Amino acid sequence: MLVIAVHGSAVPAAARTVERLVAAVEALSGVRPLVGHLDAQRPALAEVVAAHPGAVVVPLLLGDGYHRTVDIPAVLAGTGCTLTPGLSGEPDVTLALYGRLRDAERRAGALARADAVVVAGAGSSRPGGNDGTLAAAAGLAALLECDRGPTPVVPAYLTSAEPGVGAALAGLRAAGHDRIAIAAHLLADGRFTRSLAAAGAWTVTEPLAGHPRLARLVLRRYEAARAGGSPRAARLAC
């Protein structure tokens, strides 16, 4: 059994995004994942794993903060479940972020491209909790350099870490950039994506969970856990 552990949100659009991910995983593999929530929605992760001991649990989390390192292991204790790594730092996440950026640029103007990018992560105060956002920003900068030449890419956070998104935007504007895109290093719609939409950037990307690369990444995590090995990572390449 595959269980996807998600944070949960009171925003209905978040559940719809996760459902698209579930449907994509099922279409690729024939396996219908169950979803367990840490907050705001039911069923709770604890309920799901209690009903399915021994399941493989894939955390749908972009950082290794408190939920990934404390909450989920505590819920799984004694269940016999296998906990896979989260999604932090995965090249597939960066590639999905790049795809979302290109989509947002096309929506903003057929020939226009961002002259700077803020990669906006949720933010964590835990050591290493922001490493996923930092890796995504570095990877995106490398892809953009291949695609269009050097482009400023600044990691920023919506809570618990600095710089904030507003400060990052202000800094890039002060440096002379006017087509600044926000690349949302977020999985689903919620209060964070709503705040990004109101931040005043030139364009803002869609969240990541509905991107096909995320479904394939979740499936690779599941298959590697069942086989007792480590998943093969995608590679960034120009």
pLDDT tens digits in sequence order for the chain, 238 residues long: 999 999 888 888 889 999 999 999 999 999 999 999 998 788 999 999 999 999 999 999 999 888 888 999 999 999 999 999 999 999 999 999 999 999 999 999 867 899 999 999 999 999 889 999 999 999 999 999 999 999 999 999 999 999 999 999 999 999 999 999 999 999 999 889 999 999 999 999 999 999 999 999 999 999 999 998 665 656 676 6
For the chain, the structural domain boundaries read 2-88+210-227, 91-204
Q: How many CB atoms lie within 10 A of CB 70?
A: 11
Report long-range pairs for 11-17 (Cβ below 8 Å, ≥24 apart). 11/188, 11/189, 11/190, 11/191, 11/194, 13/188, 13/189, 13/190, 14/188, 14/189, 14/190, 15/41, 17/187, 17/188, 17/189, 17/207, 17/209, 17/210
Please tell me the CATH code under which domain 91-204 is placed. Answer: 3.40.50
Query: Strand 34-37 relative to strand 82-83: parallel, antiparallel, unpaired?
Result: unpaired
Asked if 85 and 111 count as a contact pair (C-beta separation under 8 A), the reply is no
Please tell me the CATH code under which domain 2-88+210-227 is placed. Answer: 3.40.50.1400
Helix, strand, or coil here: 43?
Answer: coil
Per-residue pLDDT at 238: 67
pTM: 0.93
Same-fold call for 2-88+210-227 versus 91-204: yes
Per-residue pLDDT at 237: 66
- The helices-and-strands tally (H runs, E runs) of the chain is 9, 8
Label residue 88 exposed, middle or buried (CB < 10 Å: 0-12, 13-18, 19+). buried
Residues of the chain with pLDDT > 90: what percent?
A: 82
Per-residue pLDDT at 82: 96
Report long-range pairs for 136-140 (Cβ below 8 Å, ≥24 apart). 136/62, 136/89, 136/93, 136/94, 136/97, 136/183, 136/185, 137/185, 139/91, 139/94, 139/97, 139/236, 140/94, 140/97, 140/98, 140/101, 140/183
Averaged pLDDT of the chain: 93
Per-residue pLDDT at 110: 67
The 10s digit of each residue's pLDDT in 179-196 is 999 999 999 998 899 999
Helix, strand, or coil here: 110?
Answer: coil
